Structure 1
Amino acid sequence: MRHHLILRVVTKLLVGAIILFALYVQFHGDFSPGGGFQAGVIMAVAFIIYGVVFSLRQAQRVFPPWLVHKLLALGVLIYAFTGLVSMALGYEYLNYGAFTPHHPEHGQHWGILIVELGVGVTVTGVMVAIYYAFAARPPTISDKDW
């Protein structure tokens, strides 16, 4: 394991920066290219890189599979709940003007931000779940046969 020392140190340094960049893309997505999907993929990459370098077991200790599955549902619920709130306020489903009727532009901003948050949470969960599913499979060919 000593020959992976530089890779491990660099990964530990990069994971925090990757997560910070994902948050920037998430919350700055309505002003520039980006948003929930891109931020979700970037956030998932931080955990996937950690798993590739340190092992699947270590990644699952940091980001347990039960939490990944909860995030899948949470993101969809955030998205759906945003639409239901607008309907409860007397508007159409996902009509963001319902959030601030006296100033619909602000409602649009908040609605998009909340929906994109739901998308980001779901995409992070899906990407990490796919990585966990594939990485947990036993190899069919031994390393010597390559």
Structure 2
Amino acid sequence: MKDNAILVVVARFLIPLMMLFGLYVQFHGEYSPGGGFQAGVLFAAAWILFVFIYGLDTGLRIIPPRVIYVLACLGVLLYASIGMLGVVLGGHFLDFYPLLEAPKAAQQAGIILVEFGVGVTVASVVMLFFLLFARRRADSEAAGLDPDAADDVEADRQ
């Protein structure tokens, strides 16, 4: 799609705005609706739009698959470690009060870190799902198969 000048210009304008709004949703989530899940989907959608415009190879040069897998693991690890930190310090799982002296500051710091872990995990997993579907289609096309026809054959079997 990078031959279509209108789509390229709109994407160049829209992708940074999507990421900026994702940051807003991520770090404003403890005060209003939103948070890690919604922000993760916004970041993944920005990357997917980039891939639609510039191609999968370019998208994977920006964020390689290995980095996506590492981010998925780090997000889960951050969530779990913040939760377990409350247990280690004498509270319950995801109990943020033992983290800092001031209870309100502890609650805010804990939820921000947990939501950041959720956001990183959701963004990377959505990107991985997209990557798996895109590679399946590319493999089908490389094998000389029509990917749409293969899906129709599978649907007829069921």
Q: TM-score, normalised by structure 1?
A: 0.90
What is residue 44 of structure 1 aligned with on the other side? 44
SS in 2 for 1:42: helix
Identity %: 42
Counterpart check, 1:109 vs 2:114:
no
What is residue 154 of structure 2 aligned with on the other side? none
Amino acid at match of 1:45: A
Deviations 1:72-123 (A, max 9, x none): 10000000110122122121121111112x4222211111111000000000
What is residue 119 of structure 1 aligned with on the other side? 118
**Preserved CA contact (<8 Å) 2:72 2:120:** yes
Amino acid at match of 2:81: F
Mapping 1:1-146, distance limit 5 Å = 3-100=3-100, 102-137=101-136, 138-139=140-141, 140-141=145-146
Distance apart, 1:135 and its partner CA:
0.8
Amino acid at match of 1:141: D
SS in 2 for 1:136: helix
Q: How many aligned positions are there?
A: 142
Provide closer, same or farther for how the CA distance between residues 96 and 141 of structure 1 changes in structure 2, counting only shifts above 3 A: same
Q: RMSD over aligned Cα, in angstroms?
A: 1.7
My pick for the range that moved more, 132-141 or 121-130, is 132-141
Distance apart, 1:2 and its partner CA:
7.3
Q: TM-score, normalised by structure 2?
A: 0.84
> Unpaired runs of 5+ in structure 1?
none
Q: For residues 19 and 107 of structure 2, what CA distance do their matches in structure 1 show? A: 26
Runs of 4+ deviating beyond 6 Å? none
Deviations 1:9-35 (A, max 9, x none): 221221111111100000000111100
**Preserved CA contact (<8 Å) 2:75 2:118:** yes
Amino acid at match of 2:44: A
Q: For residues 2 and 99 of structure 2, what CA distance do their matches in structure 1 show? A: 55
Distance apart, 1:142 and its partner CA:
6.7
Distance apart, 1:63 and its partner CA:
1.1
Q: For residues 82 and 3 of structure 2, what CA distance do their matches in structure 1 show? A: 49
